[in-house]
Structure 1
Amino acid sequence: MPAETITASPTEQIKLRGHVFYIKRDDRIDPLLSGNKYRKLYSLITMPAGHYRRIVSHGGSQSNAMLSIAALCHRKGWVFDYTSKPLPATLKSAPDGNLHMALSFGMRLHEVAHAQYDDAIRQLAGVTEPDTLFLPQGGADPLARSGITLLAGEIRAWLQQNKLESVNVVTPSGTGTTAYYLATALPEATVITAAMAGSETYLRAQMQMLGSIPENLRILSHERKYHFAQPYSALLEMYHELISAGIEFDLIYGAPMWHTLLLQMEQISGPVLYVHSGGLIGNETMLARYRHKGLL
């Protein structure tokens, strides 16, 4: 079903380590614009194609957001310019995963040396052409609010259907945009998250750029430091345990979020609704890293 005509994503149940969890299947919205990327890009998805000519953004070379923006621009007929730090030689000679797909959608990749990267991003953010939109890394922009508010409305309707007064809504965080706007739009729920792409201090700083952190937003601490998008045996085990429970999640955000959540379930009361953030296409390249490290 095209993303423009999507209805509310379904909610399913899984049992894991003696607990019942509800899963909001945002990963089923669209194969390329799934999970929180659909929510963050919702205002652009529903916007007339003539509103913009070009989107500029930046981030990692295997970013889920990069692929989603590339797919969106391809559908809209927009130019997509994406800035990243220099690619590893093997990836540059043989692009794979999200990068390969984004390039196939016409994304124009611009590599910038590490020393010049921050200056390059500041220049991108200062773009003034009226037909060009700058999207910060990961889609962390106030434009994301409308789609996440739509998600909050779907969760509220689900609560009413199931005669629940409140729920713990779980979503992993890179910049914290989804968790922040979801907590703002859904005050009757507790939104639980954890930092996946940096420290908790970094996550809080990113959220505070959007506004004061809502009181109903709870940030869990990991029991150990996990470097972003690196292979860990504990996360691979978590990935396979989730598949055995009936649903695949991504290795970069989903597996560490579940790992941290399950370790702290005794401190969480009430039903838990996990919002599936998609990103499953990226598992291909992550599993290759696990094989390269001899963990798979």
Structure 2
Amino acid sequence: MNLQNSPIQKVKFNKFEYYVKRDDLLNNDFSGNKARKFYHFLVNDFPNIKKVVSHGSAQSNAMYSLSVLCKLKNWNFEYYVDHIATFLKENPIGNYKAALQNGMKIFEKELAKKFDENTLFISEGGAVKEAKLGIEKLAKEIEFWANENQIKKLKVFLPSGTGTTALYLQRYLSFEVMTCACVGDEEYLQKQFEYLENDNFPTILKREKKYHFGKLYKEFYEIHKELIKQTNIEFDLLYDSLGWLVFEKYVKENYDENTKYLYIHQGGILGNTSMIQRYIYKYD
């Protein structure tokens, strides 16, 4: 399986014009920024590898994408979490359910520190240098589109967990890349950049207030519904809702009619299944 060039779609949202890089449409099973990060492992041969080990949360987009990768490559997949909610165990849903169906073995215990030569360890969220390959491909697609459409001024935005995609996108793209912190704060995100590279970092836009990752916020739910209504595109509730709040505020305050604004869709729509249920229960 190879990743096709995802389309770029023009939309209007709250009176402003945006372009959306539809990375949610890369592939039915393998899409979004996680597919970009894991592209290196998809297209290269690893004759010694029999198992992939990773860790994170029980509804992680990366967890699901790795389960797809391992199924495609015929690798075993072990995933380690601190905790799985009892309700989720009894009522599997979303990324958790799909990853289990793909053959993932999940463990509620601490991750081992050492691995044998037949095991490939991928750190939480895909924060690895190997992510460069797929993100360079993304940058080339954007550059080609911009040249084809004679776009001279472009601002590119995507929300960040570990910041790996934004970091390497800025490395390979001639336009400014902007992002916001979704998992930790701005300081955490800066440290994530510095862990992988020494310079050429994307611009971090500050959020209006502090958000706790995975917690429900009414403004996330409201902008999610508005985006579907106005653009006819479903975005991820965990990353894209906060991303759009931050990006829209930036565009409103810094709008330039000679600049085009490109938002990169994060994929991860499968994870909305459980989030939507929680939002409906709380707010509807």
TM class, shorter-length = over 0.9
Q: Which residue is equivalent to 1:80?
A: 77
Sort the Cα spacing of 1:196 and 1:162 in 2 relative to 1 into closer, same or farther, 3 A. Answer: same
Secondary structure of the corresponding residue to residue 20 of structure 1: strand
Offset at 1:105?
0.8
* 1:49 shift after superposition: 6.1
CA drift at 1:32:
2.4
Question: Is there any run of 5+ residues in structure 2 with no aligned partner, and where?
Answer: none
C-alpha deviation, 1:97, in angstroms: 1.3
Answering whether residue 193 of structure 2 is matched by residue 204 of structure 1, we say no
Q: CA deviation at 1:51?
A: 4.6
SS at match of 1:182: helix
Residue matched to 1:231:
216
Aligned positions of 1:263-274 closer than 5 A = 263-265=249-251, 266-267=253-254, 269=256, 270-274=259-263
The residue identity in structure 2 corresponding to 1:241 is E
Any runs of at least 4 consecutive aligned residues in structure 1 with deviations exceeding 4 A, and if so which?
Answer: none
Match of 2:125 in 1: 138
Counterpart pick for 2:225 among 240, 251, 255: 240
Question: What TM-score results when the alignment is normalised by the length of structure 2?
Answer: 0.95
Give 1:255 deviation, angstroms: 0.8
The answer as to 2:62 corresponding to 1:65 is: yes
Contact 1:57 1:82 in 2 (8 A): yes
Instruction: Call closer, same or farther: CA 1:268–1:178 in 2, change over 3 Å.
Output: farther
The match for 2:281 is: 292
CA RMSD of aligned residues (A): 1.4
**Residues 49 and 120 of structure 2 are in contact (CA less than 8 Å); yes or no, is this contact kept in structure 1?**
yes
236, 244, 269: which one aligns with 1:250: 236
Matched, 1:219 2:204: yes
Task: Tell me what 1:279 maps to.
Answer: 268
Unaligned runs of 5+ in 1: 113-119
> Separation in 1 of the partners of 2:71 and 2:56?
19
Provide the secondary structure at the position in 2 that maps to 1:9. Answer: coil
SS at match of 1:237: helix
Identify which of 4, 11, 15 aligns with 2:12.
Answer: 15
Could you tell me how far apart the structure 1 residues matched to 2:194 and 2:246 are? 23
Distance in 2 of aligned mates of 1:174 and 1:33: 18
Question: Could you tell me which amino acid in structure 2 is paired with residue 39 of structure 1?
Answer: R
1:163 has 2:150 as partner? yes
Conserved in 1, the CA contact under 8 Å of 2:33 and 2:266? yes
Deviations 1:253-282 (A, max 9, x none): 011100111122122542111111100111
Q: Provide the rounded CA distance (Å) in 2 between the counterparts of 1:254 and 1:164.
A: 25
Question: Does the residue aligned with 1:264 lie in a helix, a strand or coil?
Answer: helix
Q: Does the CA contact (< 8 Å) of 2:2 and 2:43 recur in 1?
A: no
Paired positions, count: 280
Which amino acid counterpart does residue 216 of structure 2 have in structure 1?
P
What is the TM-score when the length of structure 1 is the normalising length?
0.91
Q: Which residue of 2 aligns with 1:152?
A: 139
Secondary structure at the counterpart of residue 50 of structure 1: coil
Correspondence for 1:5: 2
Tell me what 2:103 maps to.
106
Paired amino acid for 1:150: K
Cα distance in 2 between the residues matched to 1:226 and 1:205 = 18
CA distance in 1, matches of 2:96, 2:103: 11
Which range moves more in the overlay, 19-28 or 264-273?
264-273
